[in-house]
Structure 1
Amino acid sequence: MTATPHQRTGPAMGPAEALSELFTPAGKHNPYPLYDALWDLGPVIPLGPSGTLVLGYDEVCTALRDPRFLVTDADVHRATGMIDHSSWQCFTKIMMFSNSPDHERMRRFAGWAYAPREVAGRRRLAAKWAERWADRLAALDDGGPLDLVETFAVRVPISVTGELLGIPESDQSALRGAITATTTAFEPVFDRDELRPADAGMDVLVDCLGELVRERRRRPGDDLISAMVRDRDAGGALSEEELVASLVMFLIAGVQSPSDLIGTTVRLALSRPAEGRGMTGDDDLVSAFITETLRFDPPNHVLTRAAETDIDFYGHRVAAGSRALLVLAAANRDPRRFTDPAVFDTTRKDNRPLSFGLGPHYCLGAAFARMQVEVAVPVLLWRFPRMALAGPPAYRDQLVTRGFARMDVTLGT
């Protein structure tokens, strides 16, 4: 595709200033003007001997498909000392942070849990919990602002995923903070103390899921944990630690991305009332709206890869062992791929955002995450047609996994 001048969405800023600002609280709150400024250096930006920043759509696609760009597995984190932290001890035992052949082994074991037929069968479960949490939201309404993140956006996914795993409803709320805390491990770490929240959250999740694995082994049920315990014990494809880690990741992925995507989709729907109303009765519009939300403001902004060997990448040398930061959110606004990328447009043709990755490591849970949003958002908009934002939403202090810490709304009932 022919390159065109990048279309800015924010004030002019030099690339060096943009890069230094990107991981500050202000940069995480609104990174898009910074991505624009970085484009002055092109779609691939060398950061010195230790790293490369990749912004372009085609360039990110190439990196995600190139087997020489490895995910940051246990070997990588062992070399940096990160493996000493409980968060990365668990994360490096899942497929997302494993390379061949472990990646394929883990993906074969867990693939059925994410299969289209399984996801389709869960729509009724998602609808049940969306209706229940809408009922509870209505019961809380006193005319004043309510935090939609805490009262709905998080509650639906944690109820759906928790029921699938067989986690008692009374225990699910206590896991909410731990789930979000673990995702802070994905942010660039400048001081090891920054991993303390992620480690503490991971300890909670590993203890909880590990105990449930032991319980289901003694008394099997009809939940997903029981099925995975049975498969693991019958075939031995995973170690016990890998089994627990896989279940921890199913919980995190089943809650965090859907929660963040529900929040952002609702915010965008409230700013576009006609489309918001249309989503209550038009499945095609719901699908197109969520796809465009994933392009315009996705819940996952950056993936990291490590170069297995020296790579000549679009005229730039990526040194063996160095990191490539693939900025999915910037690639989703590449004007060489998307017309008027800073405009939210549900009528786009061939709209294929990279928000869940691409290639061998494409997110297995993408369909499960989307399904929860497709069900929950129309229920909410139909139930509260006069809902409105009560103020600007507050973002978490995260960029790699980005979403609202709080979003106050009035229901208008």
Structure 2
Amino acid sequence: MGVSISLDDLLGEEVRRDPYPFYARLHDLGEAVALRPDDPHALVVHGYRAVNRVLRDPVFRVLGGDYLDRAGIRWRAHPAIRILQTSMLNAAPGDHLRVRQLFSQALTPRRVVALEPAIERIADGLLDGLDAAGAAGRPVDFMEAFALRLPSDVVGELLGVPERDRAWFPARVRTFDAVLEIGRRSMREVRAANVAATELTAYFTGLLAERRARPREDLVSALVGIRDRDPDQLSADELLANLIIMYNAGFRTTANLLGSGLVLLLERPDTVAALRADPSLAASCVEEILRYEPPVHFALRYAAADTEVAGLPVPAGATVVVLTGAANRDPRRFPDPDSFDPSRPDNRHLAFSAGPHHCFGAALARAEGRLVLPRLLDRFPALALAAEPGERRQLMLRGYDRLPVRVTAPARHRPIGALPNHAD
């Protein structure tokens, strides 16, 4: 009998806090390893080559509504799961392509470049707020004051969510996102996610009605127009579900990129000094942050026909856990994978997945990291952690809930009234 592991090994508290030693042990076992017969999945796929192949191979598919129906899961009874299954995250291949093409128009390379001045403007306003909140050396929560707010404002700008409403979202999105984590969820978590899903649905239903009556130059207005002109191109449920998922994903993953990235940089003063001296290094820093501490560590796929991965059989209908976070630390692909090295050549990581479900917001997330991190470090030369970061226990949407920092603004950013009075 070959080597096998238990899913409990992956889901244990120790691995959730720091999955990388476990990933290193998996790499010693090859590209994939079988799970035990009593586990709900057939394999864990963790090697870079095998993960890349599974994500691109059309025989492996997302766990859509048809799959859940065959598995006897009553997903339609839960608003949160209904949104996930209706969105492009879990749509059937033809529906996925149709909807993705519509939404991707909002994030073309040209549109992302056009958004850069807005990203810089939003960042500068939030940096002013961070400066005020951290005056006199007071600790301030970087996640709450900046990392969550910046991408929320950027994606809000893109979609057309009014600025006054954006602070309402993070608590509900965090509650909703709990159902994405691997393993069993408590009924308390599912019920809370359903409440959040219902509230998010009501909000976007109202926003769609508002934009239908008074269109603006934003994505919500554009999609309402498409829906009204050709209902077959985009159903009402698809429009709502994908707006919710686009907003949620558009700021949770980027917030975690900023939070995890800041900790990595502050632990490495030489890297911070190099980035301050040459902000053009930010792009390669962002890529290494994404490889080294990706915001998403796994995906699930099922085999539509009998197949194999790395020589291990996968029967039709069986599911596999695809560990993109482990693939990014595969020593067969990345030399010295546990070293943080922004100068790493050929850094083609899988933080944004691959194949048809490659994250279409990747260019926007990269732009936010590239533009914002140098601004943050330049504005606060004495920026430092005020306490140990909070624990990270998720593998999906992995990031800090809290990140206490201390900031000290340089003299050129102080209000005039704060300058010393040399006439005294």
State the TM-score, normalizing by the size of structure 2. Answer: 0.90
The residue aligned with 2:378 is 382
The residue aligned with 1:144 is 138
Q: Which moved more, 1:32-41 or 1:254-263?
A: 32-41
The residue aligned with 1:315 is 311
| Alignment partners' CA distance in 2, 1:125 and 1:335 | 39
The residue aligned with 1:402 is 398
Which of 58, 62, 82 aligns to 2:49? It is: 58
The residue aligned with 2:294 is 298
| Alignment partners' CA distance in 1, 2:20 and 2:296 | 14
For 1:115, give the aligned amino acid. Answer: T
| Alignment partners' CA distance in 2, 1:396 and 1:351 | 25
* Residue 278 to residue 200, structure 1, CA distance change in 2 (3 Å): farther
The residue aligned with 1:74 is 65
The residue aligned with 2:246 is 250
Contact preservation (8 Å) 1:277, 1:381: no
Question: Are 1:187 and 2:175 counterparts?
Answer: no
The residue aligned with 1:235 is 230
1:394 partner SS: coil
Contact preservation (8 Å) 2:179, 2:185: no
* Residue 196 to residue 277, structure 1, CA distance change in 2 (3 Å): farther
Q: Which moved more, 1:126-135 or 1:314-323?
A: 314-323
The residue aligned with 1:203 is 198
Runs of 4 or more above 6 Å deviation: none
Which of 115, 125, 136 aligns to 1:122? It is: 115
| Alignment partners' CA distance in 1, 2:230 and 2:59 | 31
Deviations 1:7-28 (A, max 9, x none): xxxxxxx9858x5343234321
| Alignment partners' CA distance in 1, 2:18 and 2:388 | 12
Deviations 1:260-315 (A, max 9, x none): 00111111111122322333453431000010111111001001111111112221
2:300 partner SS: strand
Which of 152, 155, 163 aligns to 1:158? It is: 152
| Alignment partners' CA distance in 2, 1:157 and 1:111 | 17
* Residue 283 to residue 232, structure 1, CA distance change in 2 (3 Å): farther
For 1:97, give the aligned amino acid. Answer: N
Q: Which moved more, 1:254-263 or 1:192-201?
A: 192-201
CA shift, 1:215, in A, is 1.1
Contact preservation (8 Å) 1:156, 1:376: no
1:110 partner SS: helix
Question: Are 1:99 and 2:92 counterparts?
Answer: yes
| Alignment partners' CA distance in 1, 2:86 and 2:219 | 19
The residue aligned with 2:17 is 29
| Alignment partners' CA distance in 2, 1:112 and 1:346 | 31
| Alignment partners' CA distance in 1, 2:185 and 2:382 | 45
| Alignment partners' CA distance in 1, 2:31 and 2:192 | 34
The residue aligned with 1:221 is 216
| Alignment partners' CA distance in 2, 1:365 and 1:395 | 27
Matches within 5 A, 1:259-274: 259-274=255-270
Which of 326, 332, 348 aligns to 1:336? It is: 332
Deviations 1:14-47 (A, max 9, x none): 9858x53432343212111121223343221111
Structure whose alpha-carbon radius of gyration is higher: 2
The residue aligned with 2:30 is 42
Structure 1: gaps spanning 5 or more residues: 1-13
For 2:34, give the aligned amino acid. Answer: P
CA shift, 1:166, in A, is 2.1
Contact preservation (8 Å) 2:5, 2:35: no
Contact preservation (8 Å) 1:277, 1:385: no
| Alignment partners' CA distance in 1, 2:154 and 2:277 | 23
Contact preservation (8 Å) 1:77, 1:88: no
Contact preservation (8 Å) 1:95, 1:106: yes
CA shift, 1:123, in A, is 0.8
Contact preservation (8 Å) 1:77, 1:83: no
CA shift, 1:196, in A, is 2.6
For 1:159, give the aligned amino acid. Answer: D
* Residue 102 to residue 132, structure 1, CA distance change in 2 (3 Å): same
CA shift, 1:87, in A, is 1.1
CA shift, 1:92, in A, is 1.3
Q: Which moved more, 1:62-71 or 1:370-379?
A: 370-379
| Alignment partners' CA distance in 2, 1:129 and 1:165 | 15
| Alignment partners' CA distance in 1, 2:20 and 2:379 | 33
2:137 partner SS: coil
Q: CA RMSD in A?
A: 1.8
Which of 153, 157, 168 aligns to 2:162? It is: 168
| Alignment partners' CA distance in 2, 1:122 and 1:77 | 38
Deviations 1:148-192 (A, max 9, x none): 001110011111111222222222111111122222211124245
For 2:354, give the aligned amino acid. Answer: L
The residue aligned with 2:419 is none
For 1:59, give the aligned amino acid. Answer: A
The residue aligned with 1:8 is none
